[in-house]
Amino acid sequence: MNAVLQSHTASDRLNAQQANQPTAEALLQVQGVSLEYRTPERVVRATHQVSFEIDPADRFVLLGPSGCGKSTLLKAVAGFIQPSEGQIRLAGQPVKEPGPDRIVVFQEFDQLPPWKTVIENVMFPLLASRTLKRRDAEERARHYLEKVGLSAFADAYPHTLSGGMKARVAIARALAMQPKILLMDEPFAALDALTRRKMQEELLELWEGVRFTLLFVTHSIEEALVVGNRILLLSPHPGRVRAEINSHQYDLKSLGGVDFQASAQRIHRLLFDEGEAPAVEHDLRFQDIRIAY
């Protein structure tokens, strides 16, 4: 699966940049973005001049300790909050407000309205946003329910489903909108360890079939290595970019392997060794590390 999961576009662009060739624009560009919360008493800076780019079909992970601004960054990409500095562009257009081209999957799947069946839940955003008429919405919903293996549960109500199944409904509902980018904020954090692993596996399988573009937030190094093909490491509060790492070589089968463990430890040091000198490539021993601060 590794070879198939690999996305070449990002490194191709980097090579082209180094060779001063003109490059295609990334799908999502986050440029020098600082995000702040203003309360009457004070200003909380959540992120400081964060930059990254996401290409189509990337599985891009924001990784960092709690409070480093991951959720805030995701909300800014979704258009719920505006940067105090820098800018965010999707397909070349500045992000100014929420839109159906960016769909967020949150951790709380209990947000699925309990009075709607599974298929009604998946159809709802398509109808509410007037993306499709009822008949086409139903067809689209059935297609994505099949993709997540829930065709047999189309007429079930959410309370009859397990946590993992609710997660799959939430993912089907998001994918049915066919967003330019799917945003997931610690989507599996509330699940038990085994279900979480299963959901990671299913997410990767789904990606194999659909090749959507994913921005995924987690504070778990292991989850980042498994889910992502690229990982942005953020330092603690306020979040700044520490490094960006290519992680396409790992999947669930790599868990526990020597190479996987070594990478996890190196990431841990990068995230938490406060006094560490600026990271340079040969220290990190990530052969394919792209930037280091």
Ligand X SMILES: Nc1ncnc2c1ncn2[C@@H]1O[C@H](COP(=O)(O)OP(=O)(O)O)[C@@H](O)[C@H]1O
66 binds ligand X (CB under 6 A): yes
- Burial category of 67 from C-beta neighbours within 10 Å (exposed 0-12, middle 13-18, buried 19 and up): middle
Q: Pick the stretch among 38-46, 67-75, 196-204, 281-289 that binds Mg ion (CB under 5 A).
A: 67-75
Q: Least distance in Å: CB of 80 to ligand X?
A: 11
Please identify which residue in 46, 77, 145, 292 interacts with ligand X, judged by CB under 6 A: 46
Which residue from 9, 31, 44, 255 is in contact with ligand X, where contact means CB under 6 A? 44
Does residue 37 bind ligand X (CB under 6 A)? yes
Tokens representing 209 are 């079939």
Q: Which of 13, 31, 56, 67 binds ligand X (CB under 6 A)?
A: 67
Quick one: tokens of 95?
A: 């992000």
Enumerate long-range contacts of 89-97, CB under 8 Å, 24 or more apart.
Answer: 89/28, 89/29, 89/31, 90/27, 90/28, 90/180, 90/181, 91/25, 91/27, 91/180, 92/25
- Within residues 235-264, the interface with ligand X by CB under 6 A covers 237
Which range touches ligand X (CB under 6 A), out of 22-30, 38-46, 99-107, 254-262?
38-46
* 220 part of the interface to Mg ion, by CB under 5 A: no
**Does residue 71 belong to the site contacting Mg ion (CB under 5 A)?**
yes
CB 105 within 8 A of CB 183: yes
**How big is the chain by its Cα radius of gyration, in Å?**
19
Do 292 and 279 contact (CB within 8 A), yes or no?
Answer: yes
| Interface with ligand X, residue 198, by CB under 6 A | no
By CB under 6 A, tell whether 116 contacts ligand X.
no
| Minimum CB distance to Mg ion smaller for 74 or for 243 | 74
Asked if 70 is part of the footprint of ligand X (rule: CB under 6 A), the reply reads yes
Residues 127 and 187: their CA atoms lie apart, in Å, by 24
The least distance separating ligand X from the CB of residue 293, rounded to whole angstroms, comes to 18
Residues in the interface with ligand X (CB under 6 A) total 13
Distances (CA, A) of 39 to 36, 45, 82: 10, 11, 15
Three-class secondary structure of residue 257 per DSSP: coil
Q: Please choose which of ligand X, Mg ion, none residue 81 contacts, taking the beta carbon within 5 to 8 angstroms, the exact cut-off set by kind.
A: none
Q: Number of residues interacting with Mg ion: please give it, by CB under 5 A.
A: 1
3-state secondary structure of 69: coil
Chain contacts with Mg ion (rule: CB under 5 A):
71
**Contact positions toward ligand X, by CB under 6 A?**
37, 39, 44, 46, 64, 66-72, 237
